[in-house]
Structure 1
Amino acid sequence: MQRVTFKVQRATFKVQRITVEVERITLEVQQITLEVQQITFKVEWITVDVQRITLNVQRVTLRGATDNLQGGKDNRRRATDNLQGGMDNRRRATDNLRGSTDNRRGGTDNLRGATDNLRGGTDNLKRGTDNLKRGTDNLQGGTDNLRRATDNRGGATSHLCQRV
């Protein structure tokens, strides 16, 4: 199998009959115009990805493809229902955020409305900053205890010296 590439600006073919047997073909076409008296395609499988198509057809006959087209319409309806389900999930996520705000506060404050919870949340942030300062003070107290323990060791050493 050879590979052939044609780059043609403009071409005109007048052919009485043509037969082409191709294993695989890829067409990248900017614009194509076909004036055909009669054409017959025998295709086992075809996939067409189309951005936009306009068909001016005198007469068309589809056998077996009509049911598949109706199935495609049903699939679109199901996709619309899935989008509505996604909207419901967003509402549930908003409710969970409100619950998180309530959990930070005390049990009595949970009875307040959503607007009050927002104000209370700002107050809790300030209280949290105060707790951090208190924690720093406790650390300094722990340092003092360590000094006292060092003094006790010094006392024990002096007792040993007296016994000897």
Structure 2
Amino acid sequence: MDAPFVRGSIIDEFGNKVYDDVIFTPFFQSDSVTLERGMDHSVKQNTLVAVWTDGRDLTSWYADAMQTDGYETLFIEEGYTLQISQLGICDDTGMHTEPKVEFKVTKVDYVSPGLAKLHKDHDADEGTKNWVKGICIAIGAVLALYGLLTRRYVLVIGGAALIVFGLFFSDCVVNWIAGKVRL
């Protein structure tokens, strides 16, 4: 990705220099903007500005490994002015000074949380199903065994039914609980 840089000054809506002769990158938020060397740009939208370092020739700054020890951010709004003395594009071959640079705004599609397509965590569902299945089988086995020892065949039938329920219907129980409980 090409990175655009500006050398110049940032002036507030009252004419005060907020930054004088610095290297910065403005991140325009709503409309793409073309900046030209030697021209003042009146800001007409909210803009985040990354101020990289004190002003110096862009190619010299690039040759010095683009040091950003004093890096700062600034939020500017309509009424600010960008005084532009130098423009540059940095890519993998170096810094290239340009007479004009377009700062493109990339639109972001925001997703409403209610409209997001969420995917189930199948591993968590399997773990829960295994727990329900294991509990039903364990309780069913204890009931059936106790029913056999005490000769209460109703408990044997109930225990066997709980084992069958755990084996075949644990998915239904977990899905029902997941539908009722929203975490």
TM-score normalised to structure 1 length: 0.24
Q: Which has the higher contact order (CA 8 A, sep 6+)?
A: 2
Q: Which one has a larger percent strand, Structure 1 or Structure 2?
A: 2
Q: Which one has a larger percent helix, Structure 1 or Structure 2?
A: 1
Structure number with larger C-alpha Rg = 1
